[in-house]
């Protein structure tokens, strides 16, 4: 294979500045929303003592899960020897860092006392998965940073494999930690499941790749660089595979719960309830986010079409957000079972399904996180050599034959 030429995008078109402007607006809106929530207190949000984590956390957890998945493309090249994907490794690392930064910004800005974060970091309670996550997330920045350096500094290229392996293992531990935030909670019927850790790892593969595809297609289209069918088909197939893997874990999780009489009513609530969660799960995650992208990935007529590949990736992202909403909000909406089997009522909303209506402020905060992530990518590919000059088939397809063009 010919060595890849990487080059910064020219970044001198109106489109580029318009995009940065738009992202800047999203970031400003997010920061403004954060200030508004911080200054007034959380009474201005839809979150309350029953639904303690809301829209900001749906976005934040989605971004963090996708961040570790976005690194996959690089891992497949460095760790699993898929040399055809090597040109994409740098973008993969950049996207991973960007998505994690976006997710963490949202999480930190939603805290009741973000000003105490430094003090918090000096008093970590190591029984808490949250405390471990602080170390894992910061470590991720460092490790992926080093990994990127080994890729971009010629003299360090021989260390890429080692750095890649380190990054891959770290990212698996990180996503296990993210899934365990929920999986290790005994209190709630929808959580308290060991499978949530591997389920989140599988979800990260599909979310990360979907976002990677969208960023890849958009940057090549808008920077006017060639992107051949080989890469498109390869990404599509991988997406289909990851979506199936994620769906597998979700199915096992629900089947296990359905089998135990103890968990049947929360399953009924989430899968068959007269509420937004069942709709989001079946239509959002299963149909739009899994089945249709799988169809696009595997059925011939859709292959090698940039339009269909973009649609599939966008649907996976939408389905992913829906899934996060169901897990995080749905899991809190279902009442705590203080007296299993009995009807409970009180002045503190015991025994009732807890309603949640997100306000504009908290939704803008979540979207602001997406803005930050994308802005980091845009600025990154403009300033440094992250994007290969060309991904046309002649350069990247190992089985390319000139007369097949």
Partner 1 sequence: MSDNKIDHYRRRFLGQTAAIAGGATLAGGLLLNAVAEARPADQAASSANRWGLLIDTSKCASDCDECVKACEMEHGWGRGSTDEQKSRPEQKAQWIRKVTVRDRATGHETSLPMMCQHCAHPPCVDVCPTGASMKRADGIVQVDKHRCIGCRYCMMACPYKARSFIHEDLHDQKTESPRGKGTVESCNLCVNRVDRGEQPACAEACPEKAILFGDLKDPGSEIARRLASEPSTEIRGDLGLDLGVRYQHI
- By the criterion CB under 8 A, which residues form the site for partner 1? 40-43, 47-50, 52-53, 111-114, 116-117, 119-120, 123-125, 127-131, 134, 181, 184-188, 332, 336-339, 341-350, 354
Q: State which residue, 242 or 334, has the beta carbon closest to partner 1.
A: 334
Q: State which residue, 307 or 341, has the beta carbon closest to partner 1.
A: 341
CB of 196 to partner 1, least distance (A): 13
Enter the DSSP assignment of 190: T
- Which residues face 391 on adjacent strands? 227
CB of 178 to partner 1, least distance (A): 13
CB of 107 to partner 1, least distance (A): 8
Q: State which residue, 134 or 146, has the beta carbon closest to partner 1.
A: 134
Q: State which residue, 4 or 50, has the beta carbon closest to partner 1.
A: 50
Q: State which residue, 117 or 383, has the beta carbon closest to partner 1.
A: 117
Distance CA 129, CA 52 (A): 18
Q: Which residue has the tokens 């949640």?
A: 356
Distance CA 43, CA 36 (A): 11
CB of 106 to partner 1, least distance (A): 13
Q: State which residue, 166 or 349, has the beta carbon closest to partner 1.
A: 349
| DSSP state string for 272-341 | H-SSHHHHIIIIIIIIIIIIHHHHHHHSGGGTT-HHHHHHHHHHHHHHHHHHHHIIIIIHHHSPP-SSTT
Of residues 204, 131, 142, the one with CA closest to residue 167: 142
CB of 252 to partner 1, least distance (A): 23
Distance CA 55, CA 326 (A): 11
Of residues 180, 196, 186, the one with CA closest to residue 337: 186
Of residues 254, 332, 319, the one with CA closest to residue 291: 319
- Which residues face 388 on adjacent strands? 6
Q: State which residue, 130 or 400, has the beta carbon closest to partner 1.
A: 130
CB of 324 to partner 1, least distance (A): 15
Residue 357: other Cβ atoms inside 10 A: 8
CB of 246 to partner 1, least distance (A): 23
Q: State which residue, 14 or 123, has the beta carbon closest to partner 1.
A: 123
Work out the burial of residue 12: count CB atoms within 10 Å of its CB; fewer than 13 is exposed, 13-18 middle, 19 or more buried: exposed
CB of 136 to partner 1, least distance (A): 12
Residue 14: which residues within 8 A CB-CB, separation 6 or more?
A: none
């Amino acid at each position: 294979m010919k060595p890849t030429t990487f080059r910064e995008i020219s970044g001198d078109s109106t489109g580029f500045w318009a995009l940065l402007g738009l992202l800047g607006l999203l970031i400003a809106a997010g920061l403004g929303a954060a200030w508004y929530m911080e200054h007034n207190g959380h009474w201005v949000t839809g979150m309350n003592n029953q639904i303690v984590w809301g829209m900001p956390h749906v976005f934040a957890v989605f971004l963090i899960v996708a961040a570790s998945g976005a690194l996959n493309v690089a891992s497949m090249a460095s760790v699993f020897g898929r040399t055809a994907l090597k040109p994409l490794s740098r973008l993969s690392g950049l996207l991973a860092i960007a998505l994690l930064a976006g997710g963490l910004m949202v999480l930190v800005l939603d805290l009741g006392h973000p000003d105490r974060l430094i003090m918090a970091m000096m008093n970590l309670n190591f029984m808490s998965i949250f405390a471990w996550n602080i170390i894992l997330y910061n470590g991720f920045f460092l490790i992926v940073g080093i990994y990127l350096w080994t890729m971009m500094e010629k003299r360090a290229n021989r260390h890429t494999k080692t750095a890649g392996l380190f990054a891959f293992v770290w990212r698996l531990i990180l996503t296990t930690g993210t899934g365990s935030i929920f999986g290790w909670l005994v209190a709630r019927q929808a959580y308290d499941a060991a499978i949530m850790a591997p389920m989140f790892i599988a979800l990260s593969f599909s979310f990360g790749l979907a976002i990677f595809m969208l960023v890849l297609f958009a940057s090549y289209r808008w920077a006017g660089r060639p992107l051949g069918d080989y890469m498109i088909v390869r990404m599509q197939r991988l997406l289909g595979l990851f979506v199936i893997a994620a769906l597998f874990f979700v199915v096992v999780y629900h089947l296990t719960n359905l089998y135990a009489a103890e968990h049947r009513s929360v399953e009924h609530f989430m899968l068959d309830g007269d509420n937004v969660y069942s709709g989001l799960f079946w239509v959002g995650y299963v149909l739009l986010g899994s089945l249709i992208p799988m169809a696009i990935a595997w059925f011939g007529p859709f292959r090698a079409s940039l339009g269909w590949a973009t649609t599939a990736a966008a649907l996976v992202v939408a389905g992913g957000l829906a899934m996060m909403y169901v897990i995080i909000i749905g899991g809190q909406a279902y009442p705590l079972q203080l007296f299993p089997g009995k009807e409970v009522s009180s002045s503190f909303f015991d025994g009732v399904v807890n309603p949640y209506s997100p306000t504009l402020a908290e939704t803008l905060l979540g979207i602001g996180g997406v803005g930050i992530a994308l802005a980091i990518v845009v600025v990154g590919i403009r300033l440094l050599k992250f994007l290969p000059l060309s991904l046309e088939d002649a350069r990247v397809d190992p089985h390319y034959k000139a007369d097949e063009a």
